Amino acid sequence: MNVELRHLRAFAAIGDQGTITGAAAALRISQPALSRTLDQLERRLGARLVERTTRSLALTEAGTRLLARTRRVLAQVDDALAEVTAGPRELRVGFAWAALGRHTVPLLRGWRDARPDTEARMLRLDDPETALRHGGIDVAFVRSPHKPDPDLASVDLYREPRVAAVPEDHPFASAPGVRLVELADRPVVFCAAACSSSAALWPVGQRPATIDVANTDEWLTAIATGDAVGVTASATAHSHPHPAVRYVPITDGGSVAVRIVWPRAATHPATDAFREHARALLADLG
């Protein structure tokens, strides 16, 4: 088909930026030049990838499929070229919220001792699974519900109980435990980057008011100031202590599965070894 890397880079920029104008600026080329490159790619593939009007741009179904693979291909090419001069790169490990809590440091220290040739670099991301699909990271720890995915594989490592996060002057701040119904008289704050809990934990008709925030700092501030309480996995208490927030076990909150996720087409040669290292460390946690 005589498709070149410049065609793929142009198409990826259009998909990432959402406009010809933005993509041309990102690539530092003119808009007419970018349009011609896209036209060449579509002709050589014999498929329409982008629907364009004077006011909007949208990927076709074929374009959406190609974009996901293009991002991974370009990431692999860039990695290969970088390794020529800099040597093998680090293993990029993504997480959205609390990584593995108290198990994070033992995991990384154990990996460093076992594989001193391959550094594991932790990266906090709002959406690690999308980053895996795009080739931005190589493996991720997540607490999102498992869904069948043709591009990603995963395995459960262990389960964490849920805890409540309450302000230091809350009646339950020093309690040995609390039930969900006892939390429902105040708004409950949820963070977009942590999808391990939601208002669906409460029965319909008994669900509390909710507040949505974008990140950990906003979540902790809403709780510390008494505007809301939080529900989260127990690793948060280890990874995100706060002087004005107390974490209390929820006796009927159930537990959250902590999973390790990786691309079915691995983006780093140490992916399998790192996954098995994590499984061996956490095998006794259930």
In DSSP notation, 132-169 reads HHHTS-SEEEE-SPP---SSEEEEEEEEEEEEEEEETT
* Confidence bin at 139 (pLDDT 50/70/90): very high
Q: Are strands 120-124 and 152-167 parallel, antiparallel or unpaired?
A: unpaired
Residue 93 has a CB neighbour count (10 Å cut-off) of 25
Check whether residue 163 and residue 250 sit in a common domain. Answer: yes
Q: For residues 20 and 39, give the distance between their C-alpha atoms in angstroms, rounded to a whole number.
A: 12
Are residues 136 and 214 both part of a single domain? no
Q: What percent of the chain has pLDDT over 70?
A: 98
DSSP-derived 3-state class of residue 282? helix
Out of 86, 102, 132, pick the residue that ends a domain.
86
- pLDDT value, residue 86: 66
Domain count, the chain: 3
Whether 211 contacts 189, CB under 8 Å: yes
pLDDT digits (tens, 9 = 90+) for 191-208: 987 778 899 999 999 999
Containing H/E element for 124?
Answer: strand 120-124
User: Are 144 and 204 in the same domain?
Assistant: no
Helices then strands, counting H and E runs in the chain, come out as 10, 11
Please state, as a whole number, how many other Cβ atoms lie within 10 Å of the Cβ of residue 214. Answer: 11
Containing domain of residue 269, as a range?
91-156+257-285
Please name every residue paired with 249 in a beta bridge, in sequence order, or none if there are none. 163
pTM of the model: 0.77
**Reported confidence tier of residue 285, pLDDT bands at 50, 70, 90:** low
pLDDT at 14: 92
The CATH number that applies at residue 34 is 1.10.10.10
If asked whether residues 57 and 78 sit together in one domain, one would say yes
Q: What is the domain-level CATH number for residue 137?
A: 3.40.190.10
By CB atoms closer than 10 A (0-12, 13-18, 19+), residue 266 is: middle
pLDDT band at 69 (very low <50, low <70, confident <90, very high): confident
The per-residue pLDDT for 91 is 95
User: Does 35 share its domain with 152?
Assistant: no
Residues 196, 250: one domain?
yes
| In a shared domain, residues 149 and 270 | yes
DSSP string, 215-247: SHHHHHHHHHTTS-EEEEETHHHHHS--TTEEE
Taking the mean position of all CA atoms in its chain, how far away is CA 179? 29
- Do 67 and 205 lie in one domain? The reply is no
- Exposed, middle or buried: residue 25 (CB in 10 Å: 0-12, 13-18, 19+)? middle
**Domain check: are 119 and 39 in the same one?**
no
- Residues 110, 230: one domain? no
User: Do 271 and 144 fall within a single domain?
Assistant: yes
User: How many other β-carbons are positioned within 10 Å of the β-carbon of residue 118?
Assistant: 17
pLDDT bucket at 109, cuts 50 / 70 / 90: very high
**Do residues 162 and 251 both lie within one domain?**
yes
